[in-house]
């Protein structure tokens, strides 16, 4: 559990980098043999690309690092519950574990809206642990959207 906390702190750091460039602050880290092999944060606005989610970018980096598409033996740490697209990528890349910070009530596809990773007809079911650094992850999102609303409000006056 201590190790999970440390890696989630790195995912939070990645999320803060996203925040600093105006992206929704979601960060991801992938580990293999207790070593970080990939880090990423949301880049949808910067690229612009609808699929530039932190999880997908980290999965792509991890595949290149290990030179294989199967990420067995790997753990994904992400600050927010993955969406359906990212949950599908988690299944398809065969990640062993998913650790996420806070739930996503509007798009979560692990526990909140959908339960893709535990769907009985899928051929892969990673271990899932939710709530690691939950308050810090949620607060970063709240701060980002509060700041965005204030900017929007300021531009209307």
Strands 35-41 and 127-130: unpaired
Give the pTM: 0.96
Q: Find out whether 13 is annotated in a ligand binding site.
A: no
Are 83 and 106 in contact by the 8 Å Cβ rule? The answer is: no
Give the CATH number of the domain where residue 144 resides.
3.40.140.10
Q: pLDDT tens digits for 67-92?
A: 999 999 999 999 999 999 999 999 99
Q: pLDDT tens digits for 110-153?
A: 999 999 999 999 999 999 999 999 999 999 999 999 999 998 88
Active site residues: 55
Domain that holds residue 107: 1-155
Q: In what order do the strands lie in the sheet with 97-102?
A: 35-41, 27-32, 74-80, 97-102, 127-130
Give CA–CA dist 126/72, Å, rounded. Answer: 10
Residues 6+ apart with CB under 8 A from 139: none
Q: Find out whether 49 is annotated in a ligand binding site.
A: no
Question: What is the separation of C-alpha 130 from the centre of its chain, rounded to a whole number of angstroms?
Answer: 12
pLDDT beyond 80 at 33: yes
Q: How many domains does the chain have?
A: 1
Residues 6+ apart with CB under 8 A from 92: 124
Q: Find out whether 102 is annotated in a ligand binding site.
A: no
Contacts 24+ apart (CB under 8 A), 74-77: 74/30, 74/31, 74/32, 74/37, 75/7, 75/30, 75/31, 75/32, 75/99, 76/28, 76/29, 76/30, 77/4, 77/7, 77/8, 77/10, 77/11, 77/28, 77/29, 77/30, 77/31, 77/132
């Amino acid at each position: 559990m201590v190790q999970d906390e440390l890696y989630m702190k790195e995912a939070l750091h990645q999320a803060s980098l996203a925040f600093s460039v105006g992206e929704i602050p979601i960060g991801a880290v992938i580990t293999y043999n207790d070593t970080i092999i990939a880090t990423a944060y949301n880049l949808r606005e910067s690229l612009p690309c609808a699929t530039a989610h932190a999880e997908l970018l980290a999965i792509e980096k991890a595949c290149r690092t290990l030179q294989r598409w199967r990420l067995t033996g790997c753990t994904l740490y992400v600050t927010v519950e993955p969406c359906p697209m990212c949950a599908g990528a988690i299944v398809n890349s065969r990640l062993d574990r998913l650790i996420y910070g806070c739930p996503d009530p509007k798009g979560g596809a692990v526990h909140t809206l959908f339960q893709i990773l535990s769907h009985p007809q899928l051929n892969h079911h990673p271990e899932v642990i939710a709530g690691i650094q939950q308050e810090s992850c949620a607060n970063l999102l709240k701060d980002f959207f509060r700041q965005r609303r204030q900017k929007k409000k300021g531009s209307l006056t």
